[in-house]
Structure 1
Amino acid sequence: MGKGDKKTKRGKINRGTFGARRPRIKKKPSIETKISVDKKAIVKQ
């Protein structure tokens, strides 16, 4: 139950793999992607 064990979190870190014990962290979308830069505010005159 250590670095050599495939089923433990420490073993997954040692091997550099992912699984149920150590899922991949998904990146959150940045603020820039939420607000589209192409659409500019229309100025009322």
Structure 2
Amino acid sequence: MLQILGLHGRCRRYMLSRLTLHNCLDLYNFAKSLGNAELQKGTFDL
């Protein structure tokens, strides 16, 4: 289970590192569909 959680964190960090003005709405909607508040906040902060 810890490996899955670690992978989830890495994926989240990767997505936030690739965040641009062109994909922020898509990433926000994706995070919203997953219910990931931390990723939603990261996209909204851009």
What TM-score results when the alignment is normalised by the length of structure 1?
0.29
Structure with greater helix share of residues: 2
Structure of higher RCO (CA pairs closer than 8 Å, 6+ residues apart): 2
Larger Rg: 1
What TM-score results when the alignment is normalised by the length of structure 2?
0.28
